[in-house]
A and B are shown apart, each in its own frame.
Chain A
Amino acid sequence: MKHAITILGCLAVLAGCGRPKTAPVPQATAHGSALVEVSGGKQVAQAGMMLDQPVVVQVNDAQNNAVAGAAVVFRGPAGVSFNPASGLTDSSGQFSTVVTLGGVASRYAIRATTTDAGGKNIELKLEEIALGYQQTLGRQLNLQYCSRCHDPESTRERVSNYDNLTTKPHAFAEGDTLNKMSDADLVAIISHGGPALSRSPEMPSFGYTLSKSDIQALISYIRAVADPPYHSAGVVYAKN
C-alpha cells in the first residue's frame, strides 16, 4: 500500500513535470490579416536536433504591409519545441523562433497562428524534416560524393560543378522527378551510372565505390528530403 502511494505520488509529480506550462501569449497590440513564411521551412536536421536556421514568419495586413505587434503562436506535434513558442512581431512585422525537432525520423508539420481583428485564427503550415540514422548516413554520403554536381549552390568549402555539366543533374529535393523513379531505378543509376537508364554518362557509376548499404542510405535520404513528399508504394499483397 505504501508503495502504491509512493508510486502514485511519483506519477503525479512526473505527470506535473511532463507538461510544462506554456508561457502566456503576450497581448497583441495590432492585428494582421495574413501570415506568410519568410524563411526556415523545409529544413533538414537530424532527429532531436535544433534546426540550423530559425523559422521566420511575417504578419501582413490586407494591403500586404507588415504589421508590428501582432501575436504569433507556434505549435507542433509531440517532441517539437520552439524557443520562443509565442511572441509579438517586431517592427518589420516578423517573428522568429528556433525549432528543435522531435526524436523520431519523420516530417514534422508545424503551425504558426495569429488572429485577425475579428478574432479569427489565421494559420500557416510549415514542414521540417528530421533524419534518422540511415538518412543521416545518406546525407553525409551526399555531401561527400553527390552534392558537388547535384547541388547548384556553392559554399565556401565546396564549389558547385552544376554549371559545368551539359545535362543538368536533379537536386535531391526535386520530388516531382525523383518520386517517379522506383528504388530499383535509383539503385541502378547510382550503381551503374546514367547510361544504365539511358541517361547522361556525366552521371558516373558508384557501384564499385559505395557499398550496397551506402546506396540504400543515399536513397533513404533522397526519399526523406523529396518535395513534394515521397510515398512508398508499400508492400503489395494479392487479395485472397
Chain B
Amino acid sequence: MSLGEKIRSLRQKLFGDPARAFGSMSLVLLAMLAIAPAKNFFSEWRHYQKGYLKLVRTRADALTLERHFSPGFKQIWLPEMGAVDRCTTCHVGLKEASLSDVSLQPYRPHPPIPHSLTEFGCVVCHRGQGAATTVEEAHSSTKAWEQPMLPARYLESSCGQCHLGPMLGTPQLNLGRQLITRYGCVRCHAVVQPDGTRMMASDDPPSLEHIAEKTTREWIYAWIKNPQAYAATASMPNFQLSDDDARDVSAFLMAQSTPLAAIHNQPASKAAASTEATAGASLYGESFCASCHAVQNAAGALVGGDLGPELTRIGSKAKPEWLEAWLRNSSVYDPDTKMPHYRFDQKQIATLAGFLEAKTDSDLLANVHLSEATPAQIQHGKTLATEYGCASCHEINGIKKPENFAPELSRVGSRSLAVLAFPEGIPHTLPDYIDAKVRNPRAFGSGLKMPQYTFTEQQRSAITTALLALTERAQTQPPALRTAAVHESNYRPAGKAGQLMADLRCFSCHAINGHGGDMAPDLSWEGSAVQRSWLAEFLRNPETLRPALIRRMPRFNLTADEINTLTDYMMVVYQTPAVDRDSIPASSFTPDMVEQGRQLFYSKYACQSCHIVDPHKDKGYIGPALWAVGAHLNGAWVYAYLKNPQAMRPGTLEPDQHLSDAEARSLTAFLMAQKSAKQAGKK
C-alpha cells in the first residue's frame, strides 16, 4: 500500500462519516484541554512545594511545619504600594524560624527584620518581578520585565523609600545620604525627597568673588588641575581640564575677582610676631584649631577634625595679608563661614599667621609657570566656568547660579534601563549603571561635564544605595507610610546675645532648639543644667569636661561684658520645663545622704567605671569627670538626669538605671558635695 493510500484509509477511518468525525474531534479537543492542567501540574512552583514537603518531613518539628504549610498558589497583594507578590508560592518557609540552619533556596526562612512579610511583601524591598511564577522571570531581567532582584549590598536602599532620615540599622544608606550632601552632589542634581523637601548640600564651597585677595593664580591653576594634590581630603572633584583650559579658567577667576578693602587696610604687623619658634604651634594647639582643621603629620596621618579645610599646605595657598585678615575676623571675607570670630590680639594674629604660612609644599607649584593672561584667555575661561557649572557651587562675579544644571535625581532609583546608554563592559542593571557613573562619569561619552570624584568602592556602594532609594514608589505611595526625617530648624537666638552667638559661630558645633552642629553638646537646656558662675568661668577659660575627648571648646578671648551677656541669656532662655532649678537646694542634703550616695556610686552602680570623682583612685574616663560637679551643675538637673538620662540628653551613652527616688536623691547629694579636684584629692 502506498503512502497516499494509507492516509486515505486513515482519513476514512477517522472522518468517514459525521459520527466518526465528531468522535475523533472530541478526542482531539479533550487532549488539547488537558494541556492546561498538565502544564499547571508540572509547573516549577509545584515542584518546589513538593521539595519543601520532602524537606520538612526530615525535621524534628515536621508536624508543626506541615500544619503551617498549605499547598497551592500564594499571593500577597498590596494595593497601596502597587505590589503583587507571588514569591511565597515557592519560598514556602520564609516565616519558619526553626529552619534557620537550612541554606537551600527557596526554603530558607527570612532573617529577622522589623517588618511583617504580609504587610510589605517581597518586591518592595528586594525588587524583582513579584507577579512572575518562574524562577527566571521572577529573579532576573528578561525582555518583558527589566527589574532584576536587588543585590544584597544595595538592599538598604529599599528602607530609604519610606525612612527618610538616618536609622541605626542602615549604615550604608546613612553613609550614602551623608556623602551625597557632604560632596555637594545636590548642588547640580536636584533631589526632591518624597516629603516634598529638597535635599540640601552640607558642604561649604567658598565664594570666589574676592579670590585674588586670598591666593595666587598659580595655586588656582594647580588646584583646578588636581585638588587632591593640594589636600587629600579636598571635596572638590577633578574636572580633568587640559593645561590650556586650566590656564584660562585661572586667568578668568583672577580677572573677575574684586578687591576687599578690609584686607588692605590692616595694621602693619610683621614686627609684632612672637620670635619664639614654638609660639605659633602652641597657639594653634591652645586655640583648638585641630577641633575643625586637620594637618598631616610626619607619618602621613591626618590629625584633626574635618569641619574646616585641611591645612597641611596652607602656606602654599593663602597670601599672608589675607591670612591675617581671616584670623582677625573671618566673616569679613566669607560672611557664611563656620569659623568663629576669635578675638585674637595683633601679636597672636601675627604669630599664628606666621606659623601657618610656614606650612608649605615646594613641589606643589614648582612646575606651574603662567604667562600674563590675554583677554581671549579670560573670555575662554569664563565660557569654560559657565559650561562646567562652577557657579552651581561657588559665587563668581559675572556668572549666574545655574538652575537645574544636571539631571534631577528624585526618581533615579526607578529609571528605566531602556533609556540608559551603557558604555562597554558595564552590566545592564541600574545599580551597576549608577555605580559606574559615580566611578568614572566621563566614560559615558565625550563632552560630558560631570567631574571625577575620588570615592572608595565602599563609598560608591553607599552612594548607589542612597540613590537607589529614590524610586517612583517612594514618591507615589501614601504619605502615611513615610517616616519623616528630622529637618534642621531655622532657630536663631535674638538680641545682643544672639548677635554674639552668631559672631562666635556657636552653631557650628552646638545645636540649640534643633539648629546647629553635633560636634559639641546640645545647649537647648543649658540654663537648667549648669550654675551661672561655672558657665561664666567656662566661657572665660574653657576646660575639657571629658578626659577622653580630643575635640575641645576653643577659648574666644571674650570680654567680661560679652561673657555676662551670653551667660545671662543662656541661663534665662535655655531652660526645660521638666526641671525646677530650685526644687533640690543644697540645704536638703544630709551627711547621711551623702554617705549613702557614695555607697551607691562606688558599690551598687560602680559609676567609677566611667566617671572620676577621686582623681587618685577612680579611672573611668568615658563620662565627664565629676570631681567638681557640685560647682558645675544644678542639683535639680542632676536628679532629673539620674532618673532618666536619655530624656535630658537624647542619645547619651549613660544608661537609665531606673533609680528609686531615694537613690537618685542620695546620689545627687553625694555628687553635689564634690566641689573641686583639690577637695577630692584630700579625702
Hey, which chain B residues are within 8 Å of A47, CB to CB? 152-153
Contact in complex: B657, A208 (CB < 8 Å): yes
Please judge, given known A-B contacts A133-B113, A220-B112, whether A164 and B621 are in contact too, CB under 8 Å: yes
Contact in complex: B609, A149 (CB < 8 Å): yes
A164 to B621, CA, bound (A): 8
Contact in complex: B548, A46 (CB < 8 Å): no
Please judge, given known A-B contacts A149-B609, A159-B548, whether A141 and B168 are in contact too, CB under 8 Å: yes
Within 8 A of A (CB), among B628-668: 645-646, 653, 655-658
Nearest CB of B to A22, in Å: 17
Hey, which chain B residues are within 8 Å of A103, CB to CB? 151-153, 155
A47 to B110, CA, bound (A): 14
Task: Decide if A69 is an interface residue (CB 8 Å cutoff).
Answer: no
Pick the residue among B103, B140, B155, B619 that contacts A48 (CB under 8 A). Answer: B155
Pick the residue among A52, A163, A209, A237 that contacts B646 (CB under 8 A). Answer: A209
A49 to B464, CA, bound (A): 13
Hey, which chain B residues are within 8 Å of A184, CB to CB? none
Task: Decide if A118 is an interface residue (CB 8 Å cutoff).
Answer: no
Task: Decide if B620 is an interface residue (CB 8 Å cutoff).
Answer: yes
Task: Decide if A161 is an interface residue (CB 8 Å cutoff).
Answer: yes
A49 to B98, CA, bound (A): 27
Hey, which chain A residues are within 8 Å of B622, CB to CB? 148-149, 159, 161
Contact in complex: B621, A161 (CB < 8 Å): yes
Please judge, given known A-B contacts A103-B152, A103-B153, whether A144 and B653 are in contact too, CB under 8 Å: yes
Nearest CB of B to A239, in Å: 9
Within 8 A of B (CB), among A139-167: 140-141, 144-145, 148-149, 156, 159, 161, 163-165
Contact in complex: A136, B169 (CB < 8 Å): yes
Nearest CB of A to B654, in Å: 8
Task: Decide if A185 is an interface residue (CB 8 Å cutoff).
Answer: no
Contact in complex: B169, A106 (CB < 8 Å): no
Contact in complex: B655, A204 (CB < 8 Å): yes
Contact in complex: B656, A209 (CB < 8 Å): yes
* Nearest opposing residue in chain A for B97, CB measure: A235
A193 to B604, CA, bound (A): 11
A235 to B60, CA, bound (A): 8
Nearest CB of B to A61, in Å: 34
Please judge, given known A-B contacts A49-B153, A133-B113, A201-B605, whether A10 and B142 are in contact too, CB under 8 Å: yes
Contacts between chains A and B (CB distance < 8 A), count = 119
Hey, which chain A residues are within 8 Å of B610, CB to CB? 161
Task: Decide if B61 is an interface residue (CB 8 Å cutoff).
Answer: yes
Contact in complex: B606, A132 (CB < 8 Å): no
Nearest CB of B to A215, in Å: 12
Hey, which chain B residues are within 8 Å of A148, CB to CB? 622, 653
Contact in complex: A49, B461 (CB < 8 Å): yes
Contact in complex: B172, A46 (CB < 8 Å): yes
Contact in complex: B461, A50 (CB < 8 Å): yes
Contact in complex: A235, B98 (CB < 8 Å): yes
Task: Decide if A213 is an interface residue (CB 8 Å cutoff).
Answer: yes
* Nearest opposing residue in chain B for A169, CB measure: B609
Interface residues on B, range: 35 or more
Hey, which chain B residues are within 8 Å of A36, CB to CB? none
* Nearest opposing residue in chain B for A209, CB measure: B655
Hey, which chain A residues are within 8 Å of B114, CB to CB? 213
* Nearest opposing residue in chain A for B168, CB measure: A140
Hey, which chain B residues are within 8 Å of A46, CB to CB? 153, 171-172
Task: Decide if A134 is an interface residue (CB 8 Å cutoff).
Answer: yes
Task: Decide if B424 is an interface residue (CB 8 Å cutoff).
Answer: no
Nearest CB of A to B661, in Å: 15
Nearest CB of B to A47, in Å: 5
Hey, which chain B residues are within 8 Å of A141, CB to CB? 168
A14 to B621, CA, bound (A): 58
Task: Decide if A202 is an interface residue (CB 8 Å cutoff).
Answer: yes
Pick the residue among B152, B170, B606, B621 that contacts A200 (CB under 8 A). Answer: B606
Pick the residue among A159, A201, A220, A237 that contacts B61 (CB under 8 A). Answer: A237
Contact in complex: A50, B457 (CB < 8 Å): yes
Hey, which chain B residues are within 8 Å of A48, CB to CB? 151-155
Write the B211-250 contact mask toward A (1 if CB under 8 angstroms, else 0). Answer: 0000000000000000000000000000000000000000
Task: Decide if B458 is an interface residue (CB 8 Å cutoff).
Answer: yes
Nearest CB of A to B300, in Å: 14
Pick the residue among B98, B606, B645, B655 that contacts A201 (CB under 8 A). Answer: B606
Contact in complex: B619, A164 (CB < 8 Å): yes
Task: Decide if B143 is an interface residue (CB 8 Å cutoff).
Answer: yes
Contact in complex: B143, A140 (CB < 8 Å): no
A118 to B606, CA, bound (A): 63
Task: Decide if B338 is an interface residue (CB 8 Å cutoff).
Answer: no
A90 to B438, CA, bound (A): 32
Interface of A toward B, CB cutoff 8 Å: 6-7, 10-11, 14, 46-50, 52, 100, 102-106, 132-134, 136-137, 140-141, 144-145, 148-149, 156, 159, 161, 163-165, 193, 200-202, 204-209, 213, 216-217, 220, 232, 234-235, 237
Interface of B toward A, CB cutoff 8 Å: 60-61, 98, 100-101, 103, 108, 111-114, 136, 140, 142-143, 151-155, 168-172, 457-458, 461, 548, 550, 603-606, 609-610, 619-622, 645-646, 653, 655-658
- Which 8 A/B pairs are nearest by Cβ-Cβ distance? A103-B152, A48-B152, A137-B169, A48-B153, A164-B619, A208-B656, A132-B111, A159-B548
Can you list 24 A-B pairs with a CB-CB distance of less than 8 A?
A10-B142, A10-B143, A47-B152, A48-B151, A48-B153, A100-B153, A132-B111, A133-B111, A134-B111, A136-B169, A137-B169, A149-B622, A156-B550, A159-B622, A161-B620, A163-B619, A164-B609, A164-B621, A165-B609, A201-B603, A202-B609, A204-B606, A209-B645, A234-B101
